[in-house]
Amino acid sequence: MLPTSIVTTQRRARSPQRHEHSALGSATEVEFTPWIADPDTGTTPSLVVKQILDYVLAALFVLFTVPLFLVIAIAIKIASPGPVFFIQKRVGKDGRMFPFYKFRTMKVNSDDAVHREFSREFICGTEQNGNGNGNGHGHGNNRNAKETRSTHSNGNAKVYKLTRDPRVTAVGQILRRTSLDELPQLFNVLRGEMSLVGPRPPVVYELEHYQDWHKQRLVARPGITGLWQVSGRSSVPFDEMVLLDLYYIEHRSTLMDLRIMAKTLPVMLLGSGGY
């Protein structure tokens, strides 16, 4: 069980802040009251170490995975026509938008209507036909909505993820299950838009369904991996995912980051919770 300090952060409200940032040719605005002190403010020793680790480790990971990048790029091109990379607007620290990089796992020109509906159900906690709710990074269309939007049970645990999506290529399924589609986000880390460890950055339209306390996960720089990924991944409902993010933001340290990174590799190799 998570410490109650996460819940009591709601009592430490400060004046509402308004963040507006123009990126990729359009502007977005996120308004929220930061109940949690901004962990990236100042130059504390732990923050300096975290930034150094981010740049050094990201550069090393890119250097050593160049052959893997090439193999994945060739496989994607063989699987379906289209670009190797998928670039999407995501919301980062303080509500600022940035170009988010992934390896493309779906056929080009796929509709995002199904994922929008999944996001609404997942965040709001509503259930679809008694099957629970789901979330994922894929897209589909209304014709396939019934197939892709039905979540299922894996043993005794519900899966909060888009599954069996016909828009995903065969190579894309492997990349998603192993999280190798996330590798290009190392460049987001080198650009200073993301960290190796932190909350996952939401898609812009997901914020429409956020409650105010959900937005507290935006006070920290988003990460490639995080406490949520190594604590259940797709078996964790949205509110619990946010609580894990808030717990990380309030208690993060260099040692915690190293532990999360160490736990990430087995999750990737085993494909735990990946769809």
Q: How does pLDDT run across 265-275, given as a tens digit for each residue? A: 888 777 654 44
Going by pLDDT thresholds of 50, 70 and 90, the confidence category of residue 96 is very high
From 142, 196, 144, select the one nearest 166 (Cα to Cα): 144
Residue 33: what pLDDT?
A: 54
Greater model confidence, 7 or 115 = 115
Residue pLDDT, tens place only, 188-218: 999 999 999 999 999 999 999 999 999 999 9
Mean pLDDT to the nearest integer, 132-139: 36
Residue 274: what pLDDT?
A: 47
Q: Does residue 258 surpass a pLDDT of 70?
A: yes
Cα 163 to Cα 58, 71, 89: the distances in Å are: 30, 25, 23
54 and 196 in contact (C-beta within 8 Å)? yes
Q: Does residue 26 surpass a pLDDT of 90?
A: no
Residue 234: what pLDDT?
A: 64
Q: Say which DSSP state 27 is in.
A: E
Burial of 82 (0-12, 13-18, 19+ CB in 10 A): middle
Greatest alpha-carbon pair distance for the chain in Å reads 54
Residue 269: what pLDDT?
A: 75
Residue 125: what pLDDT?
A: 79
Q: Does residue 90 surpass a pLDDT of 90?
A: yes
Mean pLDDT to the nearest integer, 4-12: 38
Burial of 228 (0-12, 13-18, 19+ CB in 10 A): buried
What pTM was computed for the model?
0.74
Greater model confidence, 67 or 117 = 67
Greater model confidence, 134 or 233 = 233
Greater model confidence, 131 or 162 = 162
Share of the chain above pLDDT 70, in %: 67
Going by pLDDT thresholds of 50, 70 and 90, the confidence category of residue 46 is confident
Lookup result for tokens 């193999």 = 71
